[in-house]
Amino acid sequence: MRRIRVVSLVAAGALVLAGGVGAVLRADPAPSEAYLTDDQGRALVLRGFNTASSAKSTPDGMPEFTEADLEREHTDMGTNFVRFLISWRSVEPEPGVYSQEYLDRVSERIGWYAERGYHVMLDMHQDLWSGAITPDGKTGNGAPAWATYMDGLPVGSHDMWEQYYLDPGVIRAFDNFWNTTGAHPELSEHYANAWRAVADRFADHPAVVAYDLMNEPYGGTLQGPVFESGPLTALYQKTTDAIRTVDQDTWVCVAPQAMGNNWGTPSGLGPITDSRDGDQRIAYCPHIYPLPMDLGGGYEGTTRDLVDATVASWRGNTVRTAAALGDVPVILGEFGLDTTLPGALDYVDRIYATAAEIGAGVSYWSRDPGPWGPYGEDGAARNLVPALDKPYPRAVAGTPISWASSADRLELTFRPDPDVSAPTEIYLPRRGFPAGVEVDGGEVLAWDQETRLLTLRQPQSSDEVTVTLTPAP
């Protein structure tokens, strides 16, 4: 294992430095000014969690997560977004049979978020294709057994879960889904129709803002641009078309393949045509997991330099791909780490600052209890809670031009949209603003000490406005 780690670290270094140098030599395009919007036309700055990994294996397909857990998250960190994990195995337990009982359970939990003003992105989650890749059903997750064709090829037993991606049986399951084998053209049809069933159920739900079509896609024997620009883009187009037959307004979010892109390399994903009337509603949902950290390094010393190069490369490639997809908005669907690692919270701050710079939403991985999450196995709040409990402009009545925040300060520049009557809404944590807020550059419409929400009167002019918020004395 040690040799694997050393080799991987050297490879990671080479990969990342090449990417980082590339980013320095290649000027990054300016981030698009595109955002998902709410039903009042406000630009949404989305901050929340992936909820939750535990849903991958539960019999009912639901995360081990209660409404009280959500209430605590909302009180502690003022989040407004969730990447909610759903699974194909639960949506379509038998070919062509869609489980309304499962969708009822999803709807109940989405109701918890709706009652608190959250925006929900449904994530059709898979890792290693399916639980059916191993007899115990505990290694992979996502696809139903009836859609898992390994053709008798072997799957081994590995200490590192990522290694299962290299097993012949797992590769074959993916090759059959993408029809690289030519043997199963029906599977991607089923996938698109399963999404149509989900969209048919949630098309008019006020809290559901986006569908994340596939978690961390993997091309099997096809890797990189040949996969992303070929079968992956084709599946996204087929699925978007199916969704639009029942849902004209929910955003469709598309992710690149995980391998490489999670580590900062560029994506070959192609543009998706959105048949809806009006502006397209396609978004881009990459993840970031710098390889040096995946190998257990903290955010310090040489590893910090390698991670910073990864973040720079990832930022440039993300902005370039979002532009190539049609200047679409970006949601960072996943990032996370063991926050007991040295420098972990500096890394968290670095990622949230990068997301703010490019106007991206963020869903942290994940809400599960433990060293990566906000709460421990014992339920105690961890160091991540204050790290994530920061001021942010939840909904902006115009186009955000730039914003940045720290525990006790927020500065936002935006171009007001005269057609948007709803006010700009900003979350201010109690820990940074215990006695309220001082506003410079804007007019207070309301300040609620309980909900921690500040609303600003919409300026008459559409000239750029800069608002600076500091704690009241």
Ligand X SMILES: CN(C)c1ccc(C(=O)NC[C@H]2N[C@H](CO)[C@@H](O)[C@@H]2O)cc1
Closest approach of ligand X to the CB of residue 123, in Å:
8
Closest approach of ligand X to the CB of residue 256, in Å:
11
- Using rule CB under 6 A, residue 65 touches ligand X: no
Pattern 154-173, binding to ligand X, x per CB under 6 A?
Answer: --------x--x--------
- Using rule CB under 6 A, residue 49 touches ligand X: no
Q: What is the dihedral of CA 143, 145, 149, 155, to 10 degrees?
A: 90
> Which of 158, 431 has the CB closer to ligand X?
158
Contact indicator for 394, 363 with CB cutoff of 8 Å? no
Which residues of 80-125 form beta strands (DSSP E)? Answer: 81-86, 119-124
One-letter amino acid for residue 121 of the chain: M
> Which of 288, 420 has the CB closer to ligand X?
288
> Which of 258, 360 has the CB closer to ligand X?
258
Residues 6+ apart with CB under 8 A from 126: 87, 88, 140, 141, 142, 143, 214, 215, 216
Which residues of 18-133 form beta strands (DSSP E)? Answer: 43-44, 47-51, 81-86, 119-124
> Which of 158, 457 has the CB closer to ligand X?
158
374 closest CA partner among 34, 70, 58, 73: 73
> Which of 37, 261 has the CB closer to ligand X?
261
Report the distance separating Cα 424 and Cα 415, nearest Å: 11
> Which of 76, 216 has the CB closer to ligand X?
216
- Using rule CB under 6 A, residue 216 touches ligand X: yes
Closest approach of ligand X to the CB of residue 265, in Å:
13
Among 38, 69, 274, 334, binds ligand X (CB under 6 A): 334
What DSSP string runs through 418-434? Answer: TT--SPEEEE--TTT-T
> Which of 180, 458 has the CB closer to ligand X?
180
Closest approach of ligand X to the CB of residue 20, in Å:
20
The three-class DSSP label of residue 312 is helix
> Which of 274, 368 has the CB closer to ligand X?
368
DSSP 8-state secondary structure symbol assigned to residue 127:
B
Number of residues that bind ligand X (CB under 6 A): 12
Candidate segments 22-30, 257-265, 393-401, 440-448, binder of ligand X by CB under 6 A = 257-265
Candidate segments 111-119, 152-160, 255-263, 309-317, binder of ligand X by CB under 6 A = 255-263
Tracing tokens 């057609």 back to the chain, one arrives at 419
Closest approach of ligand X to the CB of residue 28, in Å:
24
Phi-psi sector, 349: left (phi>0), alpha (psi -120 to 50), beta: alpha
* Prior bond of 30 cis (ω within 30°): no
Closest approach of ligand X to the CB of residue 88, in Å:
14
Closest approach of ligand X to the CB of residue 125, in Å:
7
Measured in residues, the chain has a length of 473
Closest approach of ligand X to the CB of residue 248, in Å:
28
Report the distance separating Cα 353 and Cα 316, nearest Å: 14
- Using rule CB under 6 A, residue 289 touches ligand X: yes
Instruction: Find how far residue 299's CA is from the centre of its chain.
Output: 22
Closest approach of ligand X to the CB of residue 431, in Å:
29
> Which of 55, 132 has the CB closer to ligand X?
55
- Using rule CB under 6 A, residue 259 touches ligand X: yes
Strands 47-51 and 361-364: parallel
Among 73, 127, 389, 411, binds ligand X (CB under 6 A): 127
> Which of 336, 343 has the CB closer to ligand X?
336
> Which of 122, 467 has the CB closer to ligand X?
122
By beta-carbon distance, which residue lies closest to ligand X?
258
Please work out, in degrees rounded to the nearest 5, the angle formed at the alpha carbon of residue 13 by the alpha carbons of 11 and 18.
Answer: 100
Among 90, 134, 139, 215, binds ligand X (CB under 6 A): 215
Report the distance separating Cα 145 and Cα 167, nearest Å: 17
Candidate segments 146-154, 214-222, 277-285, 417-425, binder of ligand X by CB under 6 A = 214-222
Report the distance separating Cα 455 and Cα 471, nearest Å: 15
Among 199, 213, 258, 283, binds ligand X (CB under 6 A): 258
Binding site for ligand X (CB under 6 A): 127, 162, 165, 215-216, 218, 258-259, 262, 289, 294, 334
